[in-house]
Amino acid sequence: MAAVSVLVLAATIPGCVAMATEDSGKPEQTQGKSPSGSGTAGSTGADGKPVASATPSPPERVSAELTRGSESPGKAVNLTIDDGPEPGWTVKVLDVLKKNGATATFCIVGSRAKEYPALVKKVVAAGHRLCDHSVDHNVAMDKRSEAYQRQQVLDARKMIEDAAGGGARVLYYRAPGGAFTPYSREVAASHGMRPLGWNVDTHDWKNPGTDKIVATVKRDLREGPTILFHDGGGNRGQTVAALEQLLPWLREQGYAFGYPRIR
């Protein structure tokens, strides 16, 4: 049955053999075989006032190009939080975001959403957006079959939306470890999820030290607006401490907190 569904999908997605390009920032990992939630709060300016509309209704299909640019005009950053939800750490991240009037996109692992649905509901209730981060966070999924990739993308979306409840929608897809393929991007895009890249990799999952995380963001922010953090995968105390320093600093520098482009 899986093989049949893959063939049907391949037959109905035109132009999938071409590699998608990015809308901004540096090239992302895009290897592999060619294919055949949303919150309610808008972006905020340096004064804490909304500068963008609420989460738009998701289209049936979006571009398969990796998105890194911000929906917000002018000077803005997109905070993205990966690998959760994680008991303890997700709530701490949410608290820091709330304290600083910041919005973020949470890239959620499907199996974790199924295990901790209350945390997914907290993310949505706080007005943040949802991103599909696969079922199992297999960083080698780009080496697996198309049927496996499709299952990882679409099953995770259902797990996240079921956990969120209330009609919340997943608007993005980020491959674990950047293991995108042309095929997985097309599967996501054809189901209304924009493939999501990043510009600034904080490497916070390595626990390099709070000062190092902060310095990395300040140094690399010139590369583009989308910043990669983590609330899952281990002790995220350094991430929380770094956010406590960075969010006020970003406001002082005149940055708004926005969301990655969907369209």
DSSP string for the chain = -HHHHHHHHHHHSTTTTSPP--SSSSPPPB-SPPP----S---B-TTS-B-SPSPPPPPS----SPB-SBSSSSSEEEEEEES---TTHHHHHHHHHHHTT--EEEEE-HHHHHH-HHHHHHHHHTT-EEEE--SS--TTGGGS-HHHHHHHHHHHHHHHHHHH-TT--EEEE--GGG-B-HHHHHHHHHTT-EEB--SEE--GGG---HHHHHHHHHHHGGG-SEEEEESSSS--HHHHHHHHHHHHHHHHTTPEE--B---
Strand partners, 201: 228
Instruction: Say if 66 falls within a structural domain.
Output: no
Number of domains comprising the chain: 1
pLDDT, tens digit, 9 for 90 and up, residues 1-27: 433 333 333 333 333 333 333 444 333
136 counts as catalytic: no
Range of the domain at 82: 71-257
Checking if the pLDDT of 72 tops 70, the result is yes
Predicted structure pTM score: 0.81
Among 128, 191, 230, 231, the active-site one is 230
Residue 115's CATH number? 3.20.20.370
Residue 12 lies in a domain: no
Tell me the pLDDT tens digit for each residue of 80-107: 999 999 999 999 999 999 999 999 999 9
Residue 199 lies inside a defined structural domain of this protein: yes
Q: Could you report the per-residue pLDDT of 186-216, keeping only the tens digit for each?
A: 999 999 999 999 999 999 999 999 999 999 9
Lowest mean pLDDT among 7-16, 212-221, 230-239: 7-16
Tell me, yes or no, whether 203 lies in a domain. Answer: yes
∠ at Cα 156 (150, 162), nearest 5°? 135
Residue 174 lies in a domain: yes
Query: What's the whole-number mean pLDDT along residues 48-52?
Result: 42
* AA letter at 27: P
Position 127 in a domain: yes
Active-site annotation holds for 230: yes
Q: Which residues contact 87 (CB under 8 A, 6 or more apart)?
A: 116, 119
- As given in the structure block, the two tokens for residue 67 are 């998105």
Q: Which of 47, 82, 136, 203 is catalytic?
A: 82
